[in-house]
Amino acid sequence: MYMKKNLCLLYLLSIFCYSHAQNENLNLEQKIDSTLSKMTIREKIGQLNQLDGRGTIEDLKVIIRKGEIGSVMNVTEPKVVNELQKIACEQSRTGIPLIFTRDVVHGFKTMLPIPLGQAATFNPELIQEGARVAAVEATEHGVRWSFAPMIDISRDARWGRIAESFGEDTYLTEKMAIAVVKGFQGDNLADARSMAACAKHFIGYGAVEGGRDYNSTHIPDRQLRDVYLPPFEKAIKAGCSSIMTSFNDNDGIPATGNSTLLKDILRKEWGFDGVVVSDWGSVTEMIKHGFAEDRKDAARKAIEAGLDMEMSSKSFIQYLEELIAKDIVSETTLDNAVRNVLRLKFRLGLFDSPYTEINKPIETYSGKHLATAKKIAEESIVLLKNEGNTLPLSSRIKNLLVVGPLADAPHDQLGTWTMDGEIERTQTPIKALREMYGDKVKIHFIKGLEYSRDKNTINFNQVLAKARQVDAIIAFMGEEAILSGEAHCLADIKLQGAQSEFIKKLSETNKPLITVIMAGRPLTISEELNQSDAVLYAWHPGTMGGNALADILFGKTAPSGKLPVTFPKAVGQIPIYYNHTNTGRPATGKEKSLDQIPLNAKQSVLGHSSYYLDLGIQPLFPFGYGLSYTTFKYSDLKAARTIVAPNDTLSISVKVKNTGQYKGTEVVQLYISDLVGSVTRPVKELKGFKRVELAPDEEKEVLFRLPLHSLAFWNMDMKKVVEPGKFKIMVGTDSESGLETFFEVK
C-alpha cells in the first residue's frame, strides 16, 4: 500500500517535472521567436558573426553597436568584457548580449596537464573536477564559452594536435568528453560559473593523412560511425552546448560544408539543438579546398550545409544579406541558425545577467584549484620502466644530480594551448624538488642542454664530472611546448637536439639514471629506454607538474597513469593502434628479425605474415600500459552468465591483489572481442575501466557491468546492431595482457 502510494507520488512528480521541463522549453522557444521577430535581417546575420577581440577595440565597439556581431573571442579582461557587453545590451538596437569565448583547453590560469595526459589518468571524475576548475577561473574572467573538449580520435603521434586529444580510443575519449562537458557546464548552464562546452573538431580531423595538420582525411562511413562519431554523440547526450566543424575535407567534402554531417547526423539523428560554429576561417578556406568558388559561394555553402556561426572569416556578414535578397539562401535557413545562437544565449542566462561580477573574491589559483591540478598531474604520469626498483628514490640517495632542458622550463611544461597560464606560477621539477625534498637530499642542478632542440654539447663534460660524484641522476628531457599543438607536426618523433646523445653519455656513468620525459606526444624512445634505469612519461604536466613529479620520484605517491595511445618503436609503424582489425595473415610473434635472415635466402623462407622485417609487429608500449611501484595479480575472472541477450547487462568480476610493498592504484581494464561479425571487427575494444586503490596484500573484487548494447556496431547493412555470436572478455593491466573468458550473445 505504502509502496503504491509512493509510486503514485513519483509518477505525479515525474509528470510535473516533465511538463515543467516542457513548459520551460516552450518558454525558451517562445522567447527565441519573440526576439527573432524583432530583428532585421542584418541583425540576424550579425548574431552569426564571431570575431577576435584582440584587434582594435574601438572598431569592435562600432560593430557591436550596429548589432553586427554575436560573439567575441579572446577578451579575458573582465572590465573590457563588461564594457563591450554594455554596448551590446544598451547601445545596440536589439540589446542582445554577446558571448565571450576562449580556448580553455586544459585549464585557464591554473594549467592542468595537456588533455593527452589527462586521458592517461583513466579517471573521468577527476577530469570533471579539473574542467570545473577551468570553468570557474575562465568565467571569473568573463569567458562563458570554451572551445573544448577536443575529442578527435588521434592515432598518429606526428600530428601535433594529438596533445590536445584524449588519444586513440573511442571509449576512453567518450568518457573524457562527458567529464569535460559536465565539468564546464555544471548543473545549470545559467549559473554565472558555468561555461558552455564545444566538442571539436567535427569530424575526423585526427585522421589527417601523414599526420600533417589540416590535411585531407579518407574515413569510410563505417569507421566514421564506429570510431570517430561516437564521442560527439556522447558529448551531446551529456548536454554539450556547441560543436565546432573541422578544417579537413573527408572523402572530398570539407566539414564546414557537409550537410550530411551537420544536418542529417547532428540535427536529425541526434536531435542537437545547440550551436554549430566553424573553425577559424574554415568557411572561406573552402575556397582553397576547391569546394567553393569565392567568399560568397563559401558563405552560401556553409549556411546551407547547416553551419550556424562563422568564426573570424566574415563572409556571412559580407554576403548573406545579398544572398537572401536574391532568394539564393532562404530567410528560414538564416532564422534557424540564429535560433540556435539565441538558444545558447538564453540557456547561459545572458539575457538576465550579461555581466561578469568584478568586485568579488576570485578562486583563480586557489589552494583547491592547485591541488586538483597536482592530483591530475600525479595520476597522468606513466611509469614505463623501473629496473631494479630504481624508483622511488631510496633514503640511501643523498646526492642527486638533476639535468635536462625540461627540468626548469616553466613555459614548456605548460604545453600547447596555454593562452592564460602564467610561467611565474609554474612549479618546475627543480623548483619543486628543492622546496619539497631539498632537506632530505643534496640536489645539484646543471641543465646540460638549454632547450629541447639544443645541439650544443659544450656543457656535457661538466655534467658528466658531476654525475660521477652523485648517487643518482634525474634527466628531464622531452619537447618544448611549441613542438606540439596546432600546425606543429613532426615527420620524426624522436627526442630533438642532442638529448639522445646526452642520455647515452649519462648512462655510461653507470649511475642510476632516471629519465623523465615531458612531451606533447608519444616519442620514439627505444634507445633511451634501454639506457635508462627508470623512465617516467609526464606529458606536459601543467602548473603543478613539478610537485606531482617530486612526490612520485620520492615515493609519496605511486604512479598510476596508463597510456591513452600506443607508443610506436619508430615512425614507420604509424598508424599503430590496439583496436585494429586483423589481417588474414596476422603475425605469429615467431617471425625472424632482420639479423636472423640468412644470406641468399629464398623468397619464401620468412613465411608470409603481416609484420615489419626490421621492427616486427609489437609497439614500444601498448595502449593502456603503465607500471606502478607495486605489482598486481589478477585472478578469478568471471562472467555472471555465458549466454546473454542483446538487451541484457552482463556482470563481469575479477579479483585484483596488491602483491608488492607499496600502496598503489591499478587501472583495471576490460576489453571485448567480437569474434565473428558480418564485417570484420577490431581485435579487441576497451569497454570498461576502473581505478582500484590497494594497500600491500590487499585484494578487491572489481565488478564491471557491461550493457550489451555497448557492443553494437555498424554492420554489413549499415545498421547499428549487436550481432549474435561468441565474444571474448579480457581483463587486465593493459591492452595486451589479461585473463580471458567467453560469452555468447543469443
Which residues are near ligand BGC by CB under 6 A? 103, 147, 200, 279-280, 486
Identify which of 303, 283, 184, 173 has the alpha carbon closest to the alpha carbon of residue 234: 173
Cell (9 digits) for 693? 586503490
DSSP state for residue 104 in the 8-state scheme = -
d(CA 260, CA 151): 20
Cell (9 digits) for 236? 551531446
Who's near 635: CB < 8 A, 6+ residues apart? 654, 655, 657, 739
Q: What residue ranges in 564-715 does DSSP mark as E strands?
A: 632-639, 643-644, 649-658, 664-674, 685-694, 699-707, 713-714
In the complex, the smallest distance separating the C-beta of residue 299 from ligand BGC, rounded to whole angstroms, is 19
Q: Nearer Cβ to ligand BGC, position 273 or 486?
A: 486
Give CA angle at 254 (118, 160), nearest 5°: 30
Q: Nearer Cβ to ligand BGC, position 236 or 523?
A: 236
Angstrom distances, CA of residue 685 to CA of 81, 578, 713: 46, 8, 12
Residue 345 parent element (H or E): helix 331-347
Identify which of 730, 543, 737 has the alpha carbon closest to the alpha carbon of residue 622: 737
Q: Nearer Cβ to ligand BGC, position 418 or 509?
A: 418
Look at strands 249-250 and 253-254 and give their pairing: antiparallel
In the complex, the smallest distance separating the C-beta of residue 433 from ligand BGC, rounded to whole angstroms, is 35
Angstrom distances, CA of residue 698 to CA of 246, 627, 657, 670: 48, 18, 6, 21
Catalytic pick from 169, 213, 279, 420? 279
Amino acid of residue 639 = A
Who's near 244: CB < 8 A, 6+ residues apart? 147, 198, 199, 200, 201, 202, 276, 277, 278, 279, 311
In the complex, the smallest distance separating the C-beta of residue 147 from ligand BGC, rounded to whole angstroms, is 3
In the complex, the smallest distance separating the C-beta of residue 191 from ligand BGC, rounded to whole angstroms, is 23
Q: Nearer Cβ to ligand BGC, position 164 or 533?
A: 164
In the complex, the smallest distance separating the C-beta of residue 158 from ligand BGC, rounded to whole angstroms, is 17
Q: Nearer Cβ to ligand BGC, position 321 or 486?
A: 486
Identify which of 460, 428, 399 has the alpha carbon closest to the alpha carbon of residue 538: 428
Q: Nearer Cβ to ligand BGC, position 197 or 525?
A: 197
**420 assigned to active site:** no
**Residue with smallest beta-carbon separation from ligand BGC:** 147
Q: Nearer Cβ to ligand BGC, position 279 or 533?
A: 279
Identify which of 116, 173, 129, 120 has the alpha carbon closest to the alpha carbon of residue 559: 120
Q: Nearer Cβ to ligand BGC, position 279 or 378?
A: 279
In the complex, the smallest distance separating the C-beta of residue 103 from ligand BGC, rounded to whole angstroms, is 5
Who's near 615: CB < 8 A, 6+ residues apart? 569, 570, 572, 573
Instruction: Return the sign of the alpha-carbon dihedral for residues 218, 222, 227, 231.
Output: positive
Give CA angle at 621 (676, 494), nearest 5°: 130
Look at strands 725-734 and 664-674 and give their pairing: antiparallel
In the complex, the smallest distance separating the C-beta of residue 649 from ligand BGC, rounded to whole angstroms, is 37
In the complex, the smallest distance separating the C-beta of residue 209 from ligand BGC, rounded to whole angstroms, is 17
Active site residues: 279
